[in-house]
Structure 1
Amino acid sequence: MSGLSVASFSVAMLVQTPVSDLPFLGSDFAVDYDCARAVILPIPYEATTTYRRGCENGPAAILDASQQVEVYDEELEREMWEVGIWTHGAIADTRHGHQVPAEEMLKVTQETVYKLVNDGKFVIALGGEHSITTGVVEGYRQAYPGEAFTVVQVDAHGDLRYEYEGSIHNHACIMRRVVDMGLPTLQIGIRSICKEEADLIKEKQLAVIRAREIATQPDWMERALASIQTPKVFITIDLDGIDPTLIPGVGTPEPGGLNWYALLTFLQQIFERHQVLGCDVMELAPITDSVVSEFTAAKLVYKLIGYQAMAKGW
């Protein structure tokens, strides 16, 4: 590992404010902002949920579950916390009855992401509903002006509606906003779209790997990776893209989806072949008396950090 080492950590490097009340992995593995390469950004925003509510509680549930994640990654043979992980305080928080207009959420998200990226941090945003991703992507566009990057979306749904229930900032419209930005996209695990979305996919010739292809076509991954034509990539993961038997705690579950190892293999290949700018993990809606969804999500976040660390030689 270059740069930071276990020996370089000291009491002076412990987390300082402003940070989340519950750091990712726990306070024993938290570092000062200046020493962190990775930043966890909780965005507990929920305003346009159309089925099962509760995703505003997703970030806190992931942070809580992360306390139980084994810090030694048996696949990567490293304790990945050593790269330095700092947890930001929550932004655009709609919990406890707080109202946050969509425009305000997008503005604070874009500004926060831009600052973190400008500081050289690898950012993983935690939602919250998927509409947040518009602000996250805008933050990266601001940080990389004039540079194209591909937005890779793992999701059960196309999210390509122009508007839904009267709002262009509905969680069902996020990828339409990305397409309208002129960014290339790759959609993975899709298994629920409306006719408007199906027509747009054909019109724009969007790259889509449907869940049924993943289940039946062994070459799906190579075809997906070959469709990425930019060196830089941003990854957005709606947790309902994963098989709901693994993560049932989502707002809009769909049967089918990626299994754990197919997802990890695909993600690792992206990190190895491309420069991953950042990621987000969205739409966890915790289920009472079950921790499997948030624990799986927390382990996924740790995997993303690990893959970036290995790709960067941290």
Structure 2
Amino acid sequence: MLTQTPIAELPFLGDEVVASYDTARVVILPIPYEATTTYRKGCEHGPAALLEASHQVEYFDEEFDREFWPVGIYTHEAIADTRRGPVSAEEMLKQTQETVAKLIADGKFVIGLGGEHSITTGLVEAYRQANDEPFTVVQIDAHGDLRHEYEGSIHNHACIMRRVVDMGLPTLQIGIRSICKEEADLIKEKNLKVFRAREIAMNPGWIDEAVASIATQKVFFTIDLDGIDPTLMPGVGTPEPGGLHWYAMMTFIRKVFEAHDVIGADVMELAPISDSVVSEFTAAKLVYKLIGYQAVVKGWL
């Protein structure tokens, strides 16, 4: 459902639990940027829809028998907002990198909300510059996103993980079920770690194997919502059948948080469907779970 409410009036979870920037441990960063969508458009409306849906999320988490909002959650003003007019890829990446760099310097745990997946380049670059040691980018996605360029742009949403590989960072791809030959060749050439959706469906031990394959202590999560099966997450730009299911995905994510130091995350490619709220609500609950897992492992509560 498309919302006309300005993002500034949509703090994550609602006004009742909003924290000031200075006291917040977590910053939600809306980036409603869309420029290279190649199928179903509308992801620039994803952040606002997610934030509005978050007002319906229960504060109490039944998995951990507690509420997570007391960690302090601050919703940043939107950046690179193409709903207000065109924004170049270069300007979007500049705004994203500079904003995230400041948030990192201030000690915030950042969760970016997209918007199209190309945004992730700016977030990852900010973390790369802020960290002396390498970290693994763990991608949940239907698509490899490993093309060098697509439709004339190296900053197309289909190229984000190629940009990460070019940065020299290790990657782990989860739920992949759509790649082109160029991407298949690169996976073999670089020996990239990929847990394909088809293989996941036939391997009950995939979660432990995937977590054990992460060689770095630090991890950045990038979650393209089309990694989830479209029967559960229809509101995306490029749906693919056969994706991840909720409890398997959340078990994997929780185990990564418990075994590694998750330094930041993003949730991308929500494209709301008129007269339906299931996708944005599911995405909002996913964001709250990310906050909860970080709060538990860091001992914030």
TM-score norm. by structure 2 comes to 0.97
Q: Secondary structure at the match of 1:104?
A: helix
* 1:80 equivalenced with 2:68 (yes/no): yes
The answer for the alignment partner of 1:226 in structure 2 is 212
CA deviation profile, 1:141-189 (whole Å, cap 9, x unmatched): 1211x31000000000000000000000000000000000000000000
In the alignment, the residues of structure 1 paired with residue 42 and residue 231 of structure 2 have an alpha-carbon distance, to the nearest angstrom, of 19
Q: Secondary structure at the match of 1:76?
A: coil
* 1:256 equivalenced with 2:247 (yes/no): no
CA deviation profile, 1:50-72 (whole Å, cap 9, x unmatched): 00000000000000000000000
* 1:93 equivalenced with 2:118 (yes/no): no
* 1:127 equivalenced with 2:105 (yes/no): no
Q: Secondary structure at the match of 2:8?
A: coil
Q: Secondary structure at the match of 1:187?
A: strand
Aligned partner of 2:141 among 138, 155, 164:
155
* 1:286 equivalenced with 2:272 (yes/no): yes
Q: Secondary structure at the match of 1:131?
A: helix
Aligned partner of 1:213 among 199, 209, 230:
199
Deviation of the 1:107 alpha carbon: 0.5
In the alignment, the residues of structure 2 paired with residue 141 and residue 49 of structure 1 have an alpha-carbon distance, to the nearest angstrom, of 26
In the alignment, the residues of structure 1 paired with residue 65 and residue 25 of structure 2 have an alpha-carbon distance, to the nearest angstrom, of 19
Residues 209 and 224, structure 1, Cα contact 8 Å, conserved in 2: yes
Q: Which runs of 5+ in 2 are unaligned?
A: 1-6
Residues 41 and 90, structure 1, Cα contact 8 Å, conserved in 2: yes
Q: Secondary structure at the match of 1:237?
A: strand
AA partner of residue 215 (structure 1): A
The answer for the alignment partner of 2:43 in structure 1 is 55
In the alignment, the residues of structure 2 paired with residue 158 and residue 272 of structure 1 have an alpha-carbon distance, to the nearest angstrom, of 26
AA partner of residue 238 (structure 1): D
The answer for the alignment partner of 1:136 in structure 2 is 123
AA partner of residue 281 (structure 1): V
Give runs of aligned pairs for residues 1-314 of structure 1, distance below 5 A: 20-96=8-84, 98-144=85-131, 146-314=132-300
CA deviation profile, 1:184-230 (whole Å, cap 9, x unmatched): 00000000000000000000000000001111111111211111000
Q: Secondary structure at the match of 2:147?
A: coil
In the alignment, the residues of structure 2 paired with residue 67 and residue 217 of structure 1 have an alpha-carbon distance, to the nearest angstrom, of 37
Deviation of the 1:20 alpha carbon: 2.6
Q: Secondary structure at the match of 2:104?
A: helix
Q: Secondary structure at the match of 2:49?
A: helix
Q: Which runs of 5+ in 1 are unaligned?
A: 1-18
| Aligned-pair Cα RMSD in Å | 0.7
% identical aligned pairs: 77
Residues 21 and 89, structure 1, Cα contact 8 Å, conserved in 2: no
Deviation of the 1:21 alpha carbon: 2.1
In the alignment, the residues of structure 2 paired with residue 257 and residue 180 of structure 1 have an alpha-carbon distance, to the nearest angstrom, of 27
